Structure 1
Amino acid sequence: MGKVFESFKNSLYDQISNLKRIEDMPKDFNEEFLKLITMVNFMLIEDNENFYGYFLLQMSREIKYDITSPTAVNFKLSKYVIYFNPYIFLNLTGEQMKSTIKHEIYHILSFHLNRARVLKTKYSNLAINMAMDIVVNQHLKDLPHFATTLDSINFKYSLNMQPYMIMEYYVDKIQMALNLLEEKDETKEDESKYEQIKKEYDASKTHDLWEESTEIDEETLKNFTEKFVVLAEKGAVPLYLEDMLKGLAGKKGEIPWNMYLKKMMGTLEGDKKKTITRRSRRQPNRLDLRGELRGHTARITLAIDISGSISDEEFHGAIKEVFNIVKTYKHEITLLECDTEIRQAYKVKSINNVRKRSSTGGGGTKFTPVFNYVNNTDTNILIYFTDGKGEVNLGVTPKGYKTLWVISGRGDKLSLTQPFGTIKKLKPVDIKEDTEDRIDVMVDGFSGNNHEPIY
């Protein structure tokens, strides 16, 4: 993509380099420029840290000539919008373009938008903008030459600020330095604010666009951000973002069990087989190269606690949701019904193969028999639906597979001190007394409408 990308980028800049009014822009320029952004998006997805690429896929994109940075973001109508100033953006290399997009997404994940609003009662825009950018840019490579960095600000204002501190620390130090210089500054009207097009970077105005964001409380903004994050986590998350994302998930909206299962399915390793029906992703113009399809089989064991703690609605809904998730993969599912021991164990190829649940008089639950069974199979993923009440310690150690515990709506927590897997909680569902023995029942606790992000 290198030479093609550079040629396309340069041709776009040549079209506008001598223009001074938006009205004079070529008719198809905006459309062509957004094609370039799509190319950058795919470059991000091809990165080792492709979380940013998947996050960008969900954002609206607009061109805005009067911003003083290559990119900017705000939040409007339940969506994050990323803006591009072509004059500044097209002067960057491909790697710098990727870096500026990562820069904006990092601002979003840090909730700088709301935090900056609080600080504006005490600090200047310049101090806030530089502080935010210092926090973000310490984690990024291939920065533009004009980027605000810790070293450049320490040198410019004779400061000794420490690396990897919070935004509030930096803004306080910078503001004190600016106050010492204030008497040297002459106040004059900024004539450039009347210009339609900005062609140079200005640190004091880089986040002015945030003023146009939809007013929204912090908790609601976090909920919207988490929905973007959940879908972006199909990509590889940079190490420096992991703690931030864990903190976000821990505030309120943990990743739902079914979306977590989707993520687990995507991480299964396996052989890839060549196919002549698909072109190579990396070299699509090479017709002599065959593409690849995932050739592995996802072997899933689905354990259902039938001790009386899992309702018929939850039982039916669990199986239906699992089949809905794995349908795009080559898969084998083994269904186990268990309480203190395994009551039924059989393969299910479709939802119509599921047998009537074993009758049970209720009673306790033991997890160990299931793990004993699964240890002697080639299972990739064990999904265990239970109310969580069982042993405190497993009698065996799980071997070579991932475990997802799903605690029923009437359950509280898992009794095991060491779960050897991930624990997720279901939303409660209404328990119906006249439940029929049918699989196609739709229940709130397992409906994709409840768990999938809705825009």
Structure 2
Amino acid sequence: MTAPQYAMAFDPSEDDQALKQCMRKTLEDDRAILMTAQPFTAMLAMQLNLIPVVDSRLPTAGTDGKNVFFNARFMADRSRADRRFVLAHEVWHCALGHFRRQLGRDSALWNQACDYEVNHLLSDELGHCPKDALWDRRFQSLSAEEVYARLCHGIEQARKGQQVLDTHDLEQALKEQSENLVIDPDFAPETPATSQEEQALSEAWRQRLLGVAQQRERMPGNLPGHLRRIIGGIREPQVPWQQLLARFLKKQQGGDRQWLPPSRRHIHRGLYLPSRRGNLLELTVALDNSGSCLDDIPAFLGELKGMLAAFNRVNLRLMIFDTCIQSDLQLTEQDLYQLDKMELKGGGGTNFRPVFAACNEQPPQALIVLTDGCAEAPEHPPTYPVLWALTKDGKRPVNWGNALNLTDHTV
């Protein structure tokens, strides 16, 4: 893209250059400190180049998905806590895929919606939010799309004194023209030129997010709940449920199976499921949310989404349990995308007996238990089929029922 010509433009002064050098070291130090305080965000931040600039077209900060550009003067006036928040703010714009999620929405309102989503996430993680950043308790746990819908219909508006924290459209910022601009050559964002490049960048960040999650899961401590929900929302199921459930249920249901036309919502994923014509599949899934499984929750949620996506018509009873049943929900294929916002209660010990007691009152066609198996189960099998869907190092708690390893798909 040819750089625009300005009637009156200036390079950063010597003092500005010195400030940039100082701020570069400060930002690198802030990122290093994040590695101790918030390792998940810091690992993602390591994927970005930190570039301080002094440029009239960038009043605060902005990212192109490869670099984060900071206005050195703006950052020099912020507190240490604010600087780390701004850094993490840019990281999570990338990680949450805000580049690709706009989909023709009004830019100004979409930018606000994205900031609300990011700022709520970070206020939970960092325990801090700049006073002038967009934050409203009414938007807690809402996605950018949900916040946008409220903003678009005038249901809510920004509180006085709050504003978008950064510049979202860097390409448009480069086109700004006015008198006496300071133009910094270091402010050179690499915005995607085509939809293919934008999709590739988005997929790269999805893979980075999953990769960091896998690293973090191997470290001491558990992922915070909001991060587990995000990871579960983007993680693809590892198990080919449409094939496995067809085999698993065939003996129980009987009858001939026919290849029905695949759901238009899932045809892009290649899901061609054998299912009895006109029949509703009913499943019960028990999700182990005990302390030993907390870091497996993203994988469990990914598999749960896979089950809902595998069938055109499914009625799924979901029991979330530890020593007792914490939640008992009814889901259908229409609830697929609601799983990303699911609040999971539990985190204690494990007891399978309450799950089987509840199922014995209303026997399901089949029960699938997502677990590491670290608990005692009833001595005798129930009348309905049971599939133990085990974590990588999980162990089958009893000899009855079928067991599936979620990692290598062996039954």
Give the alignment's TM-score, normalised by structure 1: 0.41
**Which structure has the larger Rg?**
1
